[in-house]
Structure 1
Amino acid sequence: MVQALARAGCAVTLVLKAPVRTGRLVDPLRALPGVTVRSPHAEGLIDIEGGMPPKAAAAVLARVDEEERLRPAAGGPPHPPEGGFDMIVVRGRRLAGKLSAGPLAGRLWTYLTDVPQSAALFDGSSKGELRRIADASRVLLCQTEELRGFLESAVPATAGKSVLFPPVVVLPDGLEPRRDGAPDGRALTLVYTGKFAPRWNTYEMTSLPRLLAIRGVDAELHMVGDKIHDDPADPGFATRMRTALESGQGVVWHGGHPRAEAMRLTAACDVGLSWRHPEMDASLELSTKVLECGTLGVPVVLNRTPMHERLFGTDYPLFASTETDVLDALTLIGKNSDVFTLAVERCRAAAAGFTLDAAAERLRGCVERTFPEPSAAVLAAAEEHERVAVRLGAAGGGGPARPDEALAGTAAPSGSAPPDAAQGGPRRLRVGVAGHDLKFFTRLLDYLRSRPDMEVRVDKWAALKVHDEDRSRELADWADVVVCEWCGPNAIWYARNKRPGQRLVVRLHRFELYARWPRHLPIDEVDEVICVSPHYADLTREITGWPAGKVTTIPNWVDDHQLDRPKLTGAEHHLGMIGIAPSRKRLDLALDALEELRRDDPRFTLFVKTKLPWEYWWIWQKEEEREHYERVFRRIRRSPLLAGGVVFDSYGRDVASWLRRIGFVLSTSDDESFHLAPAEGMASGAVPALLGWPGADTIYDTRWIHDDPSAMAASIASTVSLGRWEHDRLLARDQVRAAYGLDEVCRQWTDMLAATAVGATAVRTP
């Protein structure tokens, strides 16, 4: 991790949890540029012998962070007041749990491995602890896609923060990958490294040379390790295991060795063994030993699991679940050089994505997205606001001479920074966000907060019409730019209480356009109205009569980085819908398309991720809504073509994980302002299929829009049958990244805030 972070461009401080006994691991890290190694034991920061328990480690990390905060920063402003380090990378649930309640919360990058890996083990206490860790973490690093999906389903707070960070394999200095070909005319050498335990099948492995000899295959098994597990459920295991290691036919026991020597022993063998008990097939973690073997060019015998199939291919020749499978695979590889060569190539290809360079590239991208570079335009806008405030104050313009004077004597909102002048850095643009429901603004808010050239404060209204007026007035007195999420009472209040020189931006959704609030909004006090689609921008101009130049379009964002995950087998026959309420979402039209597809191919299945209509009281109280859904569900029960073809999945934040099984995302609504579901599906690598609701062609390519359910079904069927699905899904993914990817939409928001801040309202063409 230290090496990967350093290669990603970070200045890294490594805090050691135990005293240094040998410099074998630490000395090479001390020699890396930009890396500082802190040893609390040697520095006298702790008087505990051995490794630090989590509580002590949390205290030491907080102290090291405070020292970093107070240390003068070379060539720039002081460190932010919340702490000296931008990110704190920590591994382990117990330590992360302790840190989640301390001063490092909010800056944690938590590497999660020691989590319960089944629903049965995931009790309320575990969920609560992981929820607290997720809330305190900026990023959650997950070893495998399977672990990430499980966490997002079990702990919704992890969704949107989970980033894939697989194991990293680094070869020791001087060790080269194995270059020998298949064993020809000599004994087949097998190797196992690690602990000896019942579920790892290590005792059964010791019988392989003897059983292979019966089949006419000369083999030798090399066992590396010295940790023999004492199993309470099998008290005799340790004795049997040691006896087999010491006297088993064809078994060579090397004992314990450092990692580098163990890898050298592995590189000298033909085949690695990672065959485990079937109970281990559900593991959500990936064996580093398997990847090390692949990097060394040593093929591995291992269990067939979805994770392994994705890495090695479904036709990998060394998958095995039983002892007979293992013997068959080793017999084949011992007598067939072509199979051996294929296995080597698959293992090398599987391990290629787990190098140190690959890890550094992953971290570099994540760091760049989390910590955007400052914008000269935004800093210029902030300085212009400062000058305007000073001019207005000098001229008695009614506003405070400096925006921060309005906060004099008052406590700043939690987590906010003190005035920029006190920090000694360039003045930042002050952005206020006000609204009762920020669910459509969350990632934009995270992004704006992460920018070093902006300071962001939020006025969270308790309800649509309920707010703390003193807090709202405080924000109005402080902000350079106010963004009102929803064109409701919040927008009306801020328009009526706007300071001279202050900019006001209102984001309008479909919900408000047909409500009464836009009629009461003093539009002359609004600098820009943001709509999410060109169609609704046109409707807004038409319905409200507002000046055309004030109504512009910035689309909804799609978190394409989070959604881009490998598809599961069979996804090309899986249709998906997200949300079926109210009735204008038209689940019935999706069923029309599904029936036509299943008439020719029963593999087509519709997955629906949604709250059910009776969970919305405002929908279920309407008689026409109840009647619609009664007809729909009666049809699903009674139609022979739909039987077994519709799956309802619970509503939740784990959309990215759910979309891994979906090959086509449907949009059959009567009307939408944007409809995010097809865009999210496209970002996941699914093909969108839409009916032509008004404005759809201003948001999505017309190739994805169909006249009716029959045309939609025909297009889906031909896409699959003609082998176009892979091409179309990648095309759709590229389209959504370019138009609605999070980075692109955040760029548009940054440009808009900088432009409106200096009074040059940005008019963008759709």
Structure 2
Amino acid sequence: MSIRALVYGDVDLNTVDGSAVWAQSMTRCLAAAGCEVTLLLKTRVGNERLTAPLDGAPGVTLRRPYEESLLDDLGPRGLTPEQAVALITRLDSERRFDLVVLRGRRTAAVAAHTDALAGRLWTCVTDVPQTATGLTSAVVSELTDIAVASRLLLCPTEELRGFLESSVPAACGKSVLFPPVVVPPPEGAVGPGTPRTPLRIVYTGGFAPRWNTLEMTGLPAALGRRGVPAELHVIGDGIHRDPAEWAKRMGRALEDTPDLVRHGGRPHEEALRLAAQCDVGLSWRAPEADTDLELAAKVPEFGALGLPVVLNRTPMHEELLGPDYPLYAGEDLDSVADALVLATDPQTYRSAAQRCADASGRFTLERAVERLRGHLRLALPPAPGGVAPERPLKVVIAGHDLTFFTGLAEHLMALPGLEVRLDEWEALHTHDQYRSRELAAWADVVVCEWCGPNALFYARHKRAGQRLLVRLHRFELHTEWPRKLDIEKVDAIVCTSPYYADLTRERAGWPADRVAVLPNWVDVDQLDRPKLPGAQHTLGMIGIAPSRKRIDRGLDVLAELRRRDPRYTLAVKTKQPWDYWWVWNRPEEREYYERAYRRIQRSELLADGVVFDPYGPDVAVWLRRVGFVLSTSDDESFHLAPAECAASGGIPAVLAWPGADTIYSRRWIHEDTGAMADAIHSIVTEGRFDAVRAAARDEIAAKYSLRRVRGLWTDLIISGGFPEPVRPDGTVPAIR
């Protein structure tokens, strides 16, 4: 059965600019990914530059609210956000969409409060404030509502994704990268390969102060003064009207400037052909745009045509083209003219054009379609074997804290053939007993997260033929609940490591065949992000309370490394011990942290080498600057942080706490802090950082990826299949 998608952008497809081209390319990508796509237009079609290639395309349906009279009170400027959402909801009620892709914050905010669309929104994050001052409490609240209601947030750049996740906690885990899409150039649309005389400079898109479009009209004259004949070709017709005086000046400049060739708005394919007939692309913007967290689509688009691009030097552009790219421009017109003079040198021209062509390979239609298919598999997984969608398996997930089960629960709820309900207890002993009893009578399978009072309750109320699965964490082993649990009522006790499975059997006296090992999961796809410069010299620790996490050992490692190289630092992402009343009320705990923090303050080696970062879900963003995550605890049941580090492209560094070698292979385990410091320093100084971190990522992805662990849990819930534990050597056995 085909996946049905609706696309709506708060954009006018009569004007050729980046946002309008987005609507066309998103529709094409979804159709190529196998979706049946409905593109809902915002305005009456005045020209068909962008809609004509889609009209009648396989798998694509255009809905025209004005021409079809879909609403009675349509205004002259297109659908309002409220009208758009009302129309989307109506079309959805006629034939349900599997996903609704929206662009435009105001429209997404209205949709976020529409219960009928919740969980199916794929929101393209573009028009959000991109500075801390712009993120007022009202904006953060609005973005939080959008994130909560969305299944995915599509971010055009890694920079914008990181900014969003750092500012809006609800966006963490939902933000995925979806860069601008460069459609294949028309046949024969290829740049000249060498600069010509006169030099033809091309700009495509709208005209606005932020994009320096008025200033760039002075380029032909500036180049003429340098003895370089030049023409400026502009393709586009959307002049921003604010401020009005600027718009008038822009219009006059387009009409009256010598050696400026105005092509007006053209169909996208024709615009590409015209651009390919020029020599150099232009994406020069005002200084205030240097901090933008979006990439102008014209940059990779020009590169795909074989044209070099003159553009601002920004961290994003340096990451794309390299810091030594020759055609960066400064703030003033003279710097742009100087860069264009450089482009007249054939060798410089060819080098820059090749750099831009290589970079454009990241943005191809094929890459976008592949990326979309991955997101579709995540959001709309196929029905697993052993279930019938017409008679779904009824599953209850019960617990007082489902934080560690969220990624699994979302997957189970998305699976056809499973009907999943949550029984979220207010606290360990507090819950709605009537609802819990009702769910116990309804369920075919009950999954208890934590072996606590919830497990005792569902064991007492277990029905004949019902299956009960209980996941046990470290802390329950030190309580009375496992001893009180009637193990004969439990089909599987799930532990996260072989060591704790053995310890559970020993302490609880349970039969070996009732205890299964399913590891914790690592969201490799979310964590896999480019490292920031200097990451190899940054150690990390996540969570340092209670004292058994042993930050003192982490400080020992840092001190040893800083004796050798002062560039080493330790980033600690954590709540503080005084944030946990049960930690801070214990005198020995308080004394331990006071001693550790005095050591940091008074040590010449440590005083400027330790940074404390706030606790929060933005771990993937934080890990971009971390090269090694330390696990220096006295004991752990699993310790996810080193695995997350490996998934992020870093390297785990683990002390030999009991059971560590049943989770991590020996190459990441060290006998003491001195050996750990030696290993880290040798990896960095011997130039092995990239090779070692690639091996770590591959190992963790094979053993603990969210995709694999979801499959293990799905098999256990549906068929009761017990997996064998992953062996320390990294091999992954099949499910029995």
C-alpha distance in 2 between matches for 1:183 and 1:535: 67
Q: What does 1:313-392 correspond to in 2, within 5 Å?
A: 313-323=322-332, 324-335=334-345, 337-379=346-388
Is 1:629 the counterpart of 2:616 in the alignment? no
Equivalent position to 1:138, from 148, 151, 168: 151
1:387-418 Cα offsets, whole Å, 9 max, x none, are xxxxxxxxxxxxxxxxxxxxxxxxxxxxxxxx
Partner of 2:276: 267
Q: Which moved more, 1:743-752 or 1:50-59?
A: 50-59
C-alpha distance in 1 between matches for 2:240 and 2:92: 39
1:144-197 Cα offsets, whole Å, 9 max, x none, are 11111111111111111111111112246445232x22226x332222223333
Q: What does 1:396-435 correspond to in 2, within 5 Å?
A: 426-435=390-399
Partner of 1:588: 552
Structure 1 unmatched runs, 5+ = 69-83, 380-424
Partner of 1:200: 211
User: Residues 761 and 360 (structure 1 numbering): CA distance in 2 closer, same or farther, change over 3 Å?
Assistant: closer
Query: What is the deviation of 1:27?
Result: 4.2
Q: What does 1:48-87 correspond to in 2, within 5 Å?
A: 48-50=74-76, 51-68=78-95, 84-87=96-99
C-alpha distance in 2 between matches for 1:482 and 1:144: 41
Check conservation: 2:445, 2:466, Cα contact below 8 A.
Answer: yes
Equivalent position to 1:663, from 627, 635, 655: 627
Check conservation: 1:460, 1:467, Cα contact below 8 A.
Answer: yes
User: Residues 20 and 204 (structure 1 numbering): CA distance in 2 closer, same or farther, change over 3 Å?
Assistant: closer
Check conservation: 1:428, 1:455, Cα contact below 8 A.
Answer: yes
Equivalent position to 2:441, from 447, 464, 477: 477
C-alpha distance in 1 between matches for 2:43 and 2:331: 42
User: Residues 477 and 762 (structure 1 numbering): CA distance in 2 closer, same or farther, change over 3 Å?
Assistant: farther
C-alpha distance in 2 between matches for 1:107 and 1:693: 43
C-alpha distance in 1 between matches for 2:381 and 2:527: 20
AA paired with 2:79? M
- SS of 2:233's equivalent? strand
Q: Identity over the aligned pairs, expressed in percent?
A: 59
AA paired with 1:748? L
- SS of 2:641's equivalent? helix
Check conservation: 2:498, 2:725, Cα contact below 8 A.
Answer: no
C-alpha distance in 2 between matches for 1:652 and 1:630: 23
- SS of 1:149's equivalent? helix
Query: What is the deviation of 1:449?
Result: 0.3
Partner of 1:149: 162
Is 1:111 the counterpart of 2:121 in the alignment? no
- SS of 2:329's equivalent? coil
Partner of 1:503: 467
- SS of 2:146's equivalent? helix
Is 1:283 the counterpart of 2:292 in the alignment? yes
C-alpha distance in 2 between matches for 1:187 and 1:160: 51
Partner of 2:234: 223
Query: What is the deviation of 1:594?
Result: 1.1
Is 1:457 the counterpart of 2:466 in the alignment? no
Check conservation: 2:193, 2:306, Cα contact below 8 A.
Answer: no
Is 1:25 the counterpart of 2:34 in the alignment? no
AA paired with 1:93? R
Partner of 2:303: 294
Equivalent position to 1:605, from 569, 581, 596: 569
C-alpha distance in 1 between matches for 2:130 and 2:614: 21
Check conservation: 1:207, 1:249, Cα contact below 8 A.
Answer: no
Query: What is the deviation of 1:428?
Result: 1.4
Structure 2 unmatched runs, 5+ = 1-25, 728-736
Check conservation: 1:436, 1:461, Cα contact below 8 A.
Answer: yes
AA paired with 2:138? S
Query: What is the deviation of 1:509?
Result: 0.1
Check conservation: 2:50, 2:267, Cα contact below 8 A.
Answer: no
Equivalent position to 2:37, from 12, 20, 24: 12
C-alpha distance in 2 between matches for 1:133 and 1:28: 31
C-alpha distance in 2 between matches for 1:677 and 1:268: 53
Partner of 2:496: 532
Equivalent position to 2:703, from 719, 736, 739: 739
Partner of 1:165: 178
C-alpha distance in 1 between matches for 2:202 and 2:221: 15
Query: What is the deviation of 1:255?
Result: 4.2
Partner of 1:96: 108
Equivalent position to 1:719, from 683, 687, 706: 683
Check conservation: 1:755, 1:762, Cα contact below 8 A.
Answer: no
C-alpha distance in 1 between matches for 2:100 and 2:263: 39
Aligned-residue RMSD, C-alpha: 2.0
AA paired with 2:636? E
- SS of 1:441's equivalent? helix
Check conservation: 2:184, 2:365, Cα contact below 8 A.
Answer: no
C-alpha distance in 2 between matches for 1:448 and 1:163: 20
Partner of 1:46: 71
Query: What is the deviation of 1:638?
Result: 1.6
- SS of 2:152's equivalent? strand
1:18-75 Cα offsets, whole Å, 9 max, x none, are 333445533432423333333333443212144211111111111111111xxxxxxx
User: Residues 229 and 88 (structure 1 numbering): CA distance in 2 closer, same or farther, change over 3 Å?
Assistant: closer
C-alpha distance in 2 between matches for 1:744 and 1:569: 31
Partner of 1:398: none
- SS of 2:395's equivalent? strand
- SS of 2:117's equivalent? coil
Check conservation: 1:378, 1:753, Cα contact below 8 A.
Answer: no
Query: What is the deviation of 1:230?
Result: 4.9
Check conservation: 2:647, 2:697, Cα contact below 8 A.
Answer: yes
1:89-135 Cα offsets, whole Å, 9 max, x none, are 11111111111122112211111211111110111111111111111
C-alpha distance in 1 between matches for 2:151 and 2:522: 19
Is 1:515 the counterpart of 2:473 in the alignment? no
Is 1:2 the counterpart of 2:27 in the alignment? yes
User: Residues 27 and 270 (structure 1 numbering): CA distance in 2 closer, same or farther, change over 3 Å?
Assistant: closer
AA paired with 1:365? G
Query: What is the deviation of 1:520?
Result: 0.5
- SS of 1:376's equivalent? coil
AA paired with 2:319? R
User: Residues 727 and 556 (structure 1 numbering): CA distance in 2 closer, same or farther, change over 3 Å?
Assistant: same
Partner of 1:396: none
Query: What is the deviation of 1:355?
Result: 1.7
1:452-479 Cα offsets, whole Å, 9 max, x none, are 0211111111110111111111111111
User: Residues 239 and 763 (structure 1 numbering): CA distance in 2 closer, same or farther, change over 3 Å?
Assistant: closer
Q: Which moved more, 1:323-332 or 1:549-558?
A: 323-332
C-alpha distance in 2 between matches for 1:230 and 1:681: 48
Equivalent position to 1:706, from 670, 688, 691: 670
Check conservation: 1:755, 1:761, Cα contact below 8 A.
Answer: no
Query: What is the deviation of 1:139?
Result: 1.0
C-alpha distance in 2 between matches for 1:500 and 1:128: 47
Is 1:440 the counterpart of 2:449 in the alignment? no
Equivalent position to 2:636, from 661, 672, 692: 672
Check conservation: 2:50, 2:268, Cα contact below 8 A.
Answer: no
- SS of 1:19's equivalent? coil
Q: Which moved more, 1:629-638 or 1:431-440?
A: 629-638
1:280-323 Cα offsets, whole Å, 9 max, x none, are 11101110111211111111111121211111122211122233
C-alpha distance in 2 between matches for 1:558 and 1:761: 20
Query: What is the deviation of 1:518?
Result: 0.5
User: Residues 42 and 204 (structure 1 numbering): CA distance in 2 closer, same or farther, change over 3 Å?
Assistant: closer
